[in-house]
Amino acid sequence: MNAIQTNQLTRSFGNLKAVDRLTLEVPRGTVFGFLGPNGSGKTTTIRLLLGLLDADEGSAQVLGFNTRTQSDEVRVRCGALLEQHGLYERLSAADNLDYYGRIWHMPKADREKRIRELLEPLDLYKRRGEPIGRWSRGMKQKLAVARTLMHHPELVFLDEPTAGLDPVASATLREDLVSLVAQEGVTIFLTTHNLAEAEKLCTQVGVIKHGKLLVVGSPADLRSRTSAPRLYITGQGITSQAVDRLHNHLLVKKLQQRNGELIIDLNDLTRSHEIVTQLVETGVKIDEVRKEKVDLEDVFLQLVEEEKRGEE
């Protein structure tokens, strides 16, 4: 059984379709990344799946429960870290977790054990008695992740968990998430616009824009969908004539210049020597040639661009 299954799920705010006929399946036990730019409908989707908002059309089943008619059952079995961490800053870390443990009717001994179990791997257990108002954003975000897992949920929604964190705090939280996910074995529905994060954490990803689901698959699947292998060339004497000549080359699908580096999407990476030869013939002194597969960010940008062209 799927953890999440939606069918033509639609929600509008006035004339704006925040979620547009979303049909999606998230198998149990996966870490599903829901990617999209700001305002693409990610948060609204989570709110619909938690039964916090009603859909205008379509339906959704979460853990086998209808989100419209059985939203209480959905919320009993899910944990959610929404856009804001939602912690009570006047209370201590332990009190914050204890409150959520009480909400889920956990006995006192279980709550205490669980607080230790969750906070120790995050290096927060020793500071559990402190009011969290003065904690850093990264620490609060870690605590908020722990809070979503407090009651052993079957499915966890994480809405941009690393948003607003500095790179070090983001990386730490990502590592903590990976270990917690492995430890807890829950299904995760994670929204993000950080592609590196999705690539690192997710087994499946879906890309959404303007409320429409553009594509779903594993990060590797998505990468393979964009056929273009990529060549990075740095050197001296890369003139405009040299670039113009490359533009006309049959192998070149797309060409960009970034920080003095040529980035060339090719139709066939095995014939990359032809590009190098041509550049040398036009007088370019090549320092470095690097072949790479496109990353998820390129896939994402390409999909978004295609969708934009489709709209036009």
Contacts with another protein by CB under 8 A lie at: 13, 47, 50-54, 72, 75-76, 78, 80-91, 95, 99-100, 102-105, 131-134
Question: Is-contact 257 235, C-beta < 8 A?
Answer: no
* Distance in angstroms (rounded) separating the CA atoms of residues 195 and 208: 13
Cβ at position 181, least distance to another protein in Å: 19
Q: Which residues pair with 59 in a beta bridge?
A: 7
Residue 81 token pair: 């870290």
Between 47 and 230, name the residue whose CB sits nearer to another protein.
Answer: 47
Question: Is-contact 74 50, C-beta < 8 A?
Answer: yes
Cβ at position 1, least distance to another protein in Å: 21
Between 47 and 128, name the residue whose CB sits nearer to another protein.
Answer: 47
Using CA atoms, how far residue 123 sits from 10, 19, 135, 175, 182, in Å, is 41, 38, 13, 13, 17
Residue 267 token pair: 């139709």
Using CA atoms, how far residue 302 sits from 64, 149, 195, 222, 248, in Å, is 34, 35, 13, 11, 21
Between 95 and 295, name the residue whose CB sits nearer to another protein.
Answer: 95
Cβ at position 76, least distance to another protein in Å: 4
Between 68 and 253, name the residue whose CB sits nearer to another protein.
Answer: 68
Between 39 and 133, name the residue whose CB sits nearer to another protein.
Answer: 133
Between 54 and 244, name the residue whose CB sits nearer to another protein.
Answer: 54
Cβ at position 80, least distance to another protein in Å: 4
Coil, helix or strand for 141? helix
* Distance in angstroms (rounded) separating the CA atoms of residues 159 and 200: 16
Cβ at position 109, least distance to another protein in Å: 17
Cβ at position 146, least distance to another protein in Å: 13
